[in-house]
Structure 1
Amino acid sequence: MGDSRPVYQRIADDLRRQIDEGVLAVGDRIPSRSELKRTYAASDQTVDRAVRVLKAAGYAEGQFGRGVFVTDRRPLGSLLRTSDTADSPFAARISTGAATTSLLWEATSATTTAPPRIAERLGIAAGDRVMCTRYEYLADRRPLQLATSWEPLALTEGTEVVFPERGPYARRGVRERFAAIGVRVVGATELVGSRPATTAESEALGCSPGQCVTVVERTHHAADGRAVETSDIVVRADRWRLEYRIAFAD
């Protein structure tokens, strides 16, 4: 039987194979549109679609006025996930081999209303007021992760912890902040998935629109079962691994 794959997919798969086998090395230029058309007897639209597939998969990136080049897909490191890092939007440290690098981040907070999916995770009504905090993380000046956190204002409004990154409990983490207002946080639930990056996410993380990102939905719970905080965390799936360290009780 013949190859039933669409022509654009066959071209993309062949280019991926050449990259994986080192025929096309990191930094090499992907053959031009005219070269690909001639090699694969394909149309402009077909080879353009094949190159878009490569870009979306993180194998290549365009450089304005120069062409499309093979990207470095080796993981930059591991995002550590342990009980010691549970209070940060995702991980307090980055493991990059022998060295461990501290994260730097910027955050902005604003009062808004909870959209339905966030309201469901927090156990509140859609439209209830929440504090929304958006984070951007850097490691060694490289974009690492994005995070958006929501906390019900019914719990924090009028207290010293209403702004997660301001006041006497700034950057103390969810557990310590809520403990300051008499709420004991006992655990967190995380759901890990993947999806294509949005245009805004790709611009912030330095990848192509549509490229695969790892998405973590994390929700902190109080001792009485209430959800006190929920976050969406986004990282580039091709550059960062998730490292979970699980301790077993004796």
Structure 2
Amino acid sequence: MSARTVAEMVSDLRQQIDGGVLQPHAQLPSTRVLMDAYGLSDNAVYRAVALLKTDGYVYSRQGRGVFVADRRALIAGAERIGGITRPGERIEWRHSIRTDAPDWVAGYIGEGECVERARVVRRGPIIREASRSWVHRDIAAIVPELDEPAPCNPTWQAIYQERSGEAVENTSRAADARIATTDDMAALELPSSTYAVLLVRNVYAAAGRVIGVGEIVCAPGRPIELNPRPS
């Protein structure tokens, strides 16, 4: 067939996944098959698949290939910005500000100014999760939407990847629990007697450097489903 663009390949596969033509956990065709199907180079196919990973449409299994994600199971993470919510849930934007990177964030992206973005996901009267991300200030030169008080569409990672040509990977995903802080209780609208919260942290890298980190906090009894997740 005639050559198509990376954007057209991504759009076509998204439609197949959203329409159920490609079922959850089905393996994507090989790179060679996709190259032939869309008339693209191997690098172009890799870029398209990376975009699908960033948007939560597919995930990798080391040594086995790329598989279709079950988007119905995604209830946390950057995909929320793309509008993936369960019935009765809504995203409430909190802020996008320039601030000095907290110590633990600075350990990943370096000291100094960064862009901090925050939002919550509410189900009825209950806030199900609160999340914040800290993005390296250099990324805002390519994704100026980071400084706007609104979600990026579809995600800041996908926008950066599209404009820079650098694949963005979630290089680390860690789940844990911690003693609830005053900020946690305020963000989740929890009583002061709350002892612990659930925590998930993500690290995003491109071209061999960390460009941002994210933190999702949930109250006890409001668990985060972790699988399947794009790598």
> What is the TM-score of this pair, normalised by structure 2?
0.57
Aligned with residue 245 of structure 1, among 217, 227, 231: 227
- 1:188 Cα deviation from its structure 2 partner: 4.1
Higher-Rg member (1/2): 1
Q: Distance in 2 between matches of 1:133 and 1:160?
A: 13
Cα–Cα, structure 1 residues 162 and 144, in superposed 2: closer, same or farther, change >3 Å? same
**How many residue pairs are counted as aligned between the two chains?**
157
Q: Distance in 1 between matches of 2:99 and 2:115?
A: 6
Q: Which residue of 2 aligns with 1:140?
A: 124
Q: Distance in 1 between matches of 2:200 and 2:229?
A: 21
- 1:161 Cα deviation from its structure 2 partner: 3.1
Q: Which residue of 2 aligns with 1:71?
A: none
Aligned with residue 173 of structure 1, among 139, 146, 155: 155
Q: Distance in 1 between matches of 2:129 and 2:142?
A: 30
Alignment of 1:77-92 (within 5 A): 80-81=73-74, 86-88=78-80, 92=84
CA-based RMSD of the aligned residues comes to: 3.2
Q: Does 1:152 align with 2:136?
A: yes
- 1:220 Cα deviation from its structure 2 partner: 1.4
> What is the TM-score of this pair, normalised by structure 1?
0.53
Q: Does 1:233 align with 2:216?
A: yes
Q: Does 1:196 align with 2:196?
A: no
Q: Does 1:106 align with 2:97?
A: no
Q: Map Cα deviations across residues 134-193 of structure 1 (whole Å, 9 max, x no partner).
A: 212212232111111110112223743332654xx8342133221243132133421111
Q: Distance in 1 between matches of 2:80 and 2:91?
A: 12
Q: Which residue of 2 aligns with 1:216?
A: 200
* Structure with the higher helix share, 1 or 2: 2
Aligned residues with identical type, % of pairs: 15
Q: Map Cα deviations across residues 57-88 of structure 1 (whole Å, 9 max, x no partner).
A: xxxxxxxxxxxxxxxxxxxxxx9448x96543
Aligned 8 A contact 1:87 1:175 in 2: no
- The one-letter amino acid of 1:203's match is A
Q: Distance in 2 between matches of 1:195 and 1:149?
A: 18
Aligned with residue 106 of structure 2, among 102, 110, 119: 119
- The one-letter amino acid of 2:92's match is W
- 1:227 Cα deviation from its structure 2 partner: 1.5
Gaps of 5+ in 1: 1-78, 95-99
